[in-house]
Amino acid sequence: MAKTFMGVRLRSLRAERGMTQLALAHALGLSPSYVNQLEQDQRPFTVSVLLKIHRLLGVDIQQFSEDEEARVLAQLSDALAAVPGAPGVPQPELREVAAKLPHLAQAILALHRRHAEDVQRLEALSARLGDSRAEGEDWAAAPLRQMPFEAVRDFFFAHRNYFDALDRAAEAWALEARAQGAALSDWLAQRLRSLHAVHVQRTERDAQGSLRSYDAASRTLLLSAQLAPGQQAFQMATQLALLEMETLIDDCLATATWQDEATRRLARIGLAHYTAGALVLPYGEFLQAAQTLRHDIDRLARQFGVGFETVCHRLSTLQRPGAPGVPFFFIRVDRAGNISKRQSATHFHFSKTGGTCPLWNVYEAFAQPGRILPQLASMPDGRTYLWVARSISHAGAGWGTPGKMFSIGLGCDVQHAERLVYSAGMDLRSSHAATPIGMGCKVCERGACPQRAFPFVGKPLLVNENAQGFVPYAAMEGHAS
């Protein structure tokens, strides 16, 4: 564990509980001078000290982790970049705020959210000025909502993409199915039929691209005949979770405040999908296989009878307390750069401002269909990651019907890279071996990037004549655009 200096946080926690420095030292079994040095950032927090703080104060030691600091730093950068006219704040200063003044950081983020809400309210009012106003309608007080899928993403992100109760219940199902000696899809079909009177039917009909359709009146679950056995099991497990794990799912949903019922229903489906993935790829067995095979995605896919994307998605959820896997980040993009899935088990923050980086290997994967492309990539904050990307495609239902193509990216911090087969032959300790990427041009400070599409909004960039003629907007004042 890296040494951390978080004296301000410790002082804040002590003040919140009305404890003197002497009382805290006595309760922790440390000398007053040692606690004073901790609070003054003259001594590092060791693992044993953090555990004592956790037991005494009942706080999540994640508050003292470098991963949490990196997450807040990325959010601060994103927030400032999204505010027009905001003065540029150097990364070292933001890092100080994220590391030593967490309450101030959260206050800044809260102000940013309020600012974004005000902007949305003004845009909504502007769009409706020409409409007839209903009697008694207060436009200014109208509630502002995220897109439902964005709210659900934030919900999963807040839980580090892991739900312990659902994961363990699904693993128990998997053990029960194995004990009966039946194929998982057969066990699921039989359980749906015997306990819930639900009959599973395969159909060639294309219900507007739907892979699973449930008719509650006839208690019939229709599955697309195009699905492979592992995919059929996943869809049946999703339906079984909705029918049989309603209480556990509701408990998970109760940890958040939902803006409307439609968003809550979408989150419910997301949790059912999570449970299905945990059943098809049970935690203990899958984690052991991943570690044994050094996270070779293709070999894991063959062993468990699922696809590349399913394996990557499951790898990003292995954060069980006491038995965590590699903390991965998972992303799915299309050719146009739209991010349709993104999950993070740790600190990596996907920017909502400025798109993503064209130097990222998730885009190169489209040019080399079916090939796995590893990449060492460094971020502007100095952190380096190992990314693995591959394109996947799904054919259309028949002649003349369009198919689908995505790029899947799976990444982790370089400190975990040696645990992945894809790091073979890489110089993991050389900063020059990594491709410099960013979270998006508007929040990226790299001034000499040849692929920069927009200037960094935090401060003016120097003109780079070699960057394909790019001239920062700040240098174009007074000229026709």
In this prediction, residue 289 carries a pLDDT of: 97
Q: pTM for the complete prediction?
A: 0.69
In the chain, which residues have pLDDT < 70?
A: 1-6, 59-68, 82-88, 120-121, 123-145, 205-210, 345-355, 397, 456-481
What number of H helices and E strands is found in the chain? 17, 11
Residue 52 CA: distances (Å) to CA of 49, 57, 248 = 5, 8, 32
- The whole-angstrom separation of Cα 410 and Cα 160 is 15
Residue 316 CA: distances (Å) to CA of 102, 360, 431 = 26, 19, 26
- The whole-angstrom separation of Cα 73 and Cα 83 is 16
Please name which of 190, 164, 196, 194 lies closest in space to residue 177, comparing C-alpha atoms.
Answer: 190
In this prediction, residue 4 carries a pLDDT of: 52
Q: Are 284 and 174 in contact, with CB atoms under 8 Å apart?
A: no
In this prediction, residue 474 carries a pLDDT of: 36
Q: Are 339 and 358 in contact, with CB atoms under 8 Å apart?
A: no
In this prediction, residue 386 carries a pLDDT of: 94
| Secondary structure letter of residue 45 according to DSSP | B
The conformational region for residue 18 under phi > 0 = left, psi -120 to 50 = alpha, else beta, is left
In this prediction, residue 268 carries a pLDDT of: 95
**Strand order across the 220-224 sheet:** 199-203, 220-224, 212-215
Burial of 381 (0-12, 13-18, 19+ CB in 10 A): middle
- The whole-angstrom separation of Cα 451 and Cα 84 is 23
Residue 203's contacts (CB-CB under 8 Å, 6 or more residues apart) are: 222, 223, 224, 225
Long-range contacts of 6-10 (CB under 8 A, 24+ apart): 6/41, 6/45, 6/63, 6/64, 6/99, 6/100, 7/38, 7/39, 7/40, 7/41, 7/100, 8/39, 8/41, 8/100, 8/101, 8/102, 9/63, 9/64, 9/100, 9/102, 10/38, 10/39, 10/45, 10/53
Please name which of 393, 328, 385, 329 lies closest in space to residue 359, comparing C-alpha atoms.
Answer: 385
Q: Which helix (H) or strand (E) holds 193?
A: helix 184-196
- Please tell me the number of Cα atoms within 13 Å of 478 on its side-chain side: 1
Q: Which helix (H) or strand (E) holds 320?
A: strand 319-320
Strands 373-378 and 384-394: antiparallel
Burial of 16 (0-12, 13-18, 19+ CB in 10 A): exposed
Sign of CA dihedral 228, 229, 230, 235: positive
What domains are defined for the chain? 7-64 (1.10.260.40), 164-280 (1.10.10), 329-444 (no CATH), 447-481 (no CATH)
- The whole-angstrom separation of Cα 6 and Cα 105 is 14
